[in-house]
Structures are given as C-alpha cells and as structure tokens.
C-alpha cells in the first residue's frame, strides 16, 4: 500500500509540474546602469576598451538590467559582467552579447512565479 501512495504522489507532482499553471516568462528589461569596476574605483563606462584605459587593476564591466516577468517590470535585477582581459573581450557587439547572456543566465527559471 505504501508503494502505491508514493506512485500516486509522484503522478500528481508530475502533472502539477507539467501543467504550466505556475509557469512564468522572465526576460531582461532596460539597462539600469553600466559601470566599469577596478581595484581602486569605479566609473560610468560600459565597454572594456574604455574601462581598461582607466588604468586600474583587474577591470571588469558590470551592467544591471531590470528583470521583467510576463512582460511586466519587477523589483528584481539581473547583473551581467565581463572581465576586461586585454585581447580577449572582443568588439562592442561581442561584449554586449556576452554581458547580456551573462545577465539572462541570472534570471529566475519558468518555475518561479511572477511577484504579486
């Protein structure tokens, strides 16, 4: 009898997870800030070639995006970052793509419901 309860519970859990009742679509919204950070300071610079030119050690750029859930702005934020290692960060388009992908990976999954 105990095995059949476990089996029934597993079926209910599977159906609930696959029904999409709580599914949400999380996306990136507008960029809220774009900052160059380095040992010793930070400045409002959005791309690595400008950040590295500031002369600080270990520079990286950090972009903060507004997180949207089902198309609505939320209070959540997603950060995308890129280390500015000379010769490895690419042009501005490549940097933007990397930073955006990094931020997108920080968004909640579809199983996380939108805030009320």
Per-residue pLDDT tens for 22-73?
A: 689 999 999 999 999 988 788 899 999 999 888 777 899 999 999 999 999 9
> In this structure, what token pair is assigned to residue 18?
């696959």
Provide the whole-model pTM.
0.77
Q: What are the tokens at 65?
A: 């995006």
Would residue 36 count as lying in a domain?
A: yes
Confidence of residue 88 (pLDDT cuts 50, 70, 90): confident
Q: What's the CA gap between 113 and 116, in Å, rounded?
A: 9
**Alpha helices for the chain (secondary structure H):** 2-18, 48-52, 92-104
| Residue 110 forms part of a structural domain | no
Residue 3 falls within a domain, yes or no?
no
Please tell me the total count of domains within the chain. 1
DSSP state of 47: S
Considering 3-7, 22-26, 102-106, the range whose residues carry the highest mean pLDDT is 102-106
Residue 18 confidence class, pLDDT cut points 50, 70, 90: very low
Containing structural domain, residue 42: 23-104
Q: Give domain status of residue 14, yes or no.
A: no
Here the tokens at position 46 are: 């959005």
């Amino acid at each position: 009898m105990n095995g059949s309860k476990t089996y029934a519970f597993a079926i209910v859990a599977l159906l609930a997870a696959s029904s999409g009742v709580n599914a949400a679509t999380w996306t990136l919204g507008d960029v809220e800030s774009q900052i160059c950070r380095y040992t010793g300071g930070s400045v409002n610079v959005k791309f690595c070639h400008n950040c590295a030119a500031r002369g600080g050690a270990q520079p990286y750029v950090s972009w903060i995006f507004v997180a949207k859930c089902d198309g609505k702005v939320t209070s959540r934020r997603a950060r995308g970052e890129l280390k500015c290692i000379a010769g490895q960060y690419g042009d501005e388009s490549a940097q933007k793509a990397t930073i955006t992908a990094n931020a997108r990976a920080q968004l909640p999954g579809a199983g996380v419901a939108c805030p009320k």
